[in-house]
């Protein structure tokens, strides 16, 4: 640098500029904390529900291991049809049935609080009655006898009448009987709530003539279907 060049002092440039500072604006308080709390609550609820489901599943499995419940077995052991005449949309009938109801369970008793029996031909109901209620102990068989008798207006279609005439010529009628139940199960001092199973019996019943029944026309014991 030349010796003759004037020296510049700080005043020439003005006051010193301080270094810039960066500022961070805080977010609105509580947003992250609230989301975290909600997530924890939902996670806790999910775990609680899952635990309850697992406990109920284990309890049901243990109950099954101890009790080993079996489906009630229902049979129609005897059926006698002495009248089944259809004329002018009116059906005259006399159908006697014996039901065998078997509770195969070793530790469960059953309360039959309601039993309604319905008789149908070609899906058309021609009679219904209430059967007596009862309690059935374990490993026990109960026999119920009932007679459907009377006359009833039963509108049948042309196809249904044609099927009726075919069965009449054979002397054997396809009759469906349904049982509508309300039952409770008993294990020791514990009684369950009422359940409403249905029993369906598809029967082939020979018409008994005044000459009696031949060996080929004897009714065969029929197993019924138990469903919920």
Residue 163 lies in a domain: yes
CB count, 10 Å around CB of 104?
Answer: 14
219/120 Cα distance (integer angstroms) = 18
Q: What is the mean pLDDT of residues 182-198?
A: 92
CA 16 to chain centre: 88
Per-residue pLDDT at 57: 81
18/120 Cα distance (integer angstroms) = 103
Per-residue pLDDT at 215: 43
Q: Outline where 110-223 has alpha helix (H).
A: 158-170
Q: In terms of pTM, does the model score above 0.75?
A: no
Residue 195 lies in a domain: yes
pLDDT band at 164 (very low <50, low <70, confident <90, very high): very high
Residue 113 lies in a domain: yes
Per-residue pLDDT at 201: 98
Q: What is the dihedral of CA 77, 192, 66, 139, to 10 degrees?
A: -20
Task: Note down the domain range covering 82.
Answer: 71-209+217-225
CB count, 10 Å around CB of 36?
Answer: 10
pLDDT tens-digit profile of 107-145? 899 999 999 999 999 999 999 999 999 999 999 999 999
Please provide the average confidence, as pLDDT, over all residues in the chain: 84
Residue 151 lies in a domain: yes
Q: Which range, 15-19, 114-118, 161-165, has the best average confidence (pLDDT)?
A: 114-118
Q: What is the dihedral of CA 122, 123, 125, 129, to 10 degrees?
A: 110
pLDDT tens-digit profile of 19-53? 655 555 555 555 566 667 777 888 888 888 988 99
Q: Which candidate, 93, 97, 84, 220, places its Cα nearest to that of 165? A: 84
223/131 Cα distance (integer angstroms) = 19
Q: Which of 65-74, 142-151, 176-185 has the lowest mean pLDDT?
A: 65-74
pLDDT tens-digit profile of 143-153? 999 999 999 99
Can you give the CATH number for the domain in which 197 is found? 2.60.40
Residue 9 has pLDDT above 90, yes or no: no
Residue 130 lies in a domain: yes
Q: Structural domain tally of the chain?
A: 1
Q: Which candidate, 105, 124, 114, places its Cα nearest to that of 180? A: 114
Residue 81 lies in a domain: yes
Residue 25 lies in a domain: no
Residue 125 lies in a domain: yes
């Amino acid at each position: 640098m030349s010796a003759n060049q004037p020296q510049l002092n700080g005043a020439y440039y003005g006051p010193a500029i301080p270094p810039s500072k960066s500022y961070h604006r805080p977010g609105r308080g509580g947003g992250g904390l609230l989301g975290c709390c909600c997530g924890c609550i939902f996670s806790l609820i999910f775990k609680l529900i899952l635990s309850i489901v697992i406990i109920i599943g284990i309890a049901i499995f243990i109950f099954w291991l101890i009790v080993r419940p079996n489906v009630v077995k229902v049979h129609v052991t005897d059926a006698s049809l002495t009248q089944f005449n259809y004329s002018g949309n009116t059906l005259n009938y006399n159908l006697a049935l014996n039901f065998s109801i078997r509770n195969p369970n070793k530790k469960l008793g059953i309360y039959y609080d309601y039993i309604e029996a319905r008789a149908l031909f070609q899906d058309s109901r021609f009679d219904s009655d209430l059967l007596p209620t009862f309690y059935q102990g374990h490993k026990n068989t109960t026999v119920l006898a009932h007679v459907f008798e009377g006359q009833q207006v039963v509108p049948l279609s042309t196809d249904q009448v044609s099927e009726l005439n075919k069965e009449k010529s054979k002397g054997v009628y396809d009759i469906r009987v349904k049982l509508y139940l309300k039952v409770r199960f008993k294990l020791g001092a514990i009684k369950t709530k009422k359940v409403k199973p249905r029993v369906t019996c598809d029967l082939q019943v020979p018409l008994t003539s005044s000459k009696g029944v031949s060996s080929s026309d004897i009714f065969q014991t029929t197993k019924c279907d138990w469903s919920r």
